[in-house]
Amino acid sequence: MHDDKLRLVALCGYPSDLRPSHQPFVRDLLRALAGQGTEVTVIAPQSVWDRAGRAPGFELRDGLPVHRPRFLSWSEIALPVLRSTGRFSDAAYRRAALRSGRGLAGADLCFGHFLYPHGQAALALAGRLGVPAVLSLGESSFQRYEIAYRTRETAALLARFAAIVVNSPVLEALLLERYGVPPDRVTLLPNGVDEGRFHPRDRAESRRRLGLPAERPILACVGHWNERKGPLRVMEAIRAWPEIGAVFLGQGPQRPSGAQVLHAGPVPPEDVPVWLSAADLFVLPTLDEGCSNALLEALACGLPVVSSDRPFNRAVVDESMARLVEPTDPAAIGAAIARLVDQPAERARLGAAARAHARGFSLERRATRMLALLRKVAGA
């Protein structure tokens, strides 16, 4: 480092006016790092096919310079030798990142959030700039990587990072056992939640503001509408209890619908805490996660949780604030929801424990620990 200010180039997805809810957890981390004195430059290449590709090629957003070079992407089509056309997309992303990085001499290190294509591009740019690269992993699954890349290719890529941050013990074990990453290269830092934004608000006032029924039991579900997150399993789970309403914050192919759906669609990130505060409980029957940001945000808003009885969740919550069930069993999900709906005192007890537990997942504390690691790597 040239002085006390760390100069960081981040390769990642980043929100835009067209996609304000795109990877807000990455934005929150980078803003927290900037708030602690880091000079952050964002490179977020955009596919020419993506409607968000019409976002400005460069803008100052959240006080950070954000470069959005265009690249040509391909869908994931299996190939006999190269395995998948996804490799072409990753290569085009990498070239776009290198174009944007030409004028960034003076950077201290490159930071990639998620391995492909962001981490791969961060390594390429770090080599161009002559600085180390650090990877942050929060992927729920390496399944897509295993289709497009051989295990030994991914292992060789991981070995080139000066440090790797993981948000889950499950991911840590995967790196050590499957990909042979040395333990001293891996740091476990669970995700953090912005306590200034995510905290309990008055439920009645939140419902009035959002136009929700004052007394109806309401559950909240936040996440992409796909099979992994399970919005349709939630709908099947509550079908036997028509008095229960549901709000789904997100979008995707598995759109929930029906008389019990009180809202289904994306909302501005600043409104998410209000929607959570309007609910009685949070439901997420996800099949796989790293460390779920949506779950942590619900805890911070004081909501009891019904979610998956899987190792990735056991690392974050326990029975004092959550009811963990088999996520593929709508009957079990529905029974857990119904019990909490029928027991307001139990909901209150779990909600208080959730709020207290969430204080251990502070975004500010995570950023402080992340910055200490980044400074150590840059200094070395």
141-195 pLDDT per residue, tens: 788 888 889 999 999 999 999 999 999 999 999 999 999 999 999 999 999 999 9
Same domain, 161 and 283: no
Angle at 333 between CA 330 and CA 339, to 5 degrees: 135
Q: What is the pLDDT of residue 299?
A: 98
For residues 53 and 14, state if they share a domain. yes
Alpha carbon distance 279, 77 (integer Å): 41
Residue 1 inside a domain? The answer is no
In-domain check, residue 198: no
The answer to whether 374 and 41 have CB atoms below 8 angstroms apart is no
Do 212 and 255 reside in the same domain of the chain? yes
Tokens of residue 309, six digits: 């009885």
User: Between 17 and 45, whose confidence is greater?
Assistant: 45
pLDDT at 46: 92
- Whether 253 and 308 map to the same domain: the answer is yes
> What is the reported pLDDT for 3?
58
Residue 2 falls inside a structural domain: no
Q: Is the dihedral of CA 293, 299, 304, 308 positive or negative?
A: positive
**370's tokens:** 């992340």
Local structure of 370: helix, strand or coil: helix
* Domain enclosing residue 230, as ranges: 203-358
Residue 287 lies in a domain: yes
271 has pLDDT over 80: yes
Instruction: Indicate if 153 and 241 belong to the same structural domain.
Output: no
Above 90 in pLDDT, residue 380?
no
Q: What's the mean pLDDT in 90-103? A: 94
pTM for the predicted model, two decimal places: 0.90
Do 237 and 350 belong together in one domain?
yes
User: Using CA atoms, how far apart are residues 369 and 380, in angstroms rounded to an integer?
Assistant: 17
**Residues 122 and 142 placed together within one structural domain of the fold:** yes
Residues 31 and 168 in one domain: yes
Q: What pLDDT was estimated at residue 1?
A: 54
Inside any domain, residue 140: yes
**Interatomic CA distance for residues 8 and 108, integer angstroms:** 6
Q: Is residue 232 part of a domain?
A: yes
366 and 326 in a common domain? no
Claim to verify: residue 128 and residue 245 sit in the same structural domain: no
Cα of first residue to Cα of last residue in the chain, in angstroms, is 10
State the Cα–Cα distance between residues 309 and 330, nearest whole angstrom.
13
In a shared domain, residues 188 and 291? no
Please check whether residue 197 lies inside any domain of the structure: no
β-sheet bridge partners, residue 308: 325
Question: 29 and 56 share a domain?
Answer: yes
Average pLDDT estimate for 337-345: 97
What's the domain count of the chain? Answer: 2
CATH classification at residue 173:
3.40.50.2000
Give the residue-averaged pLDDT of 235-240.
98
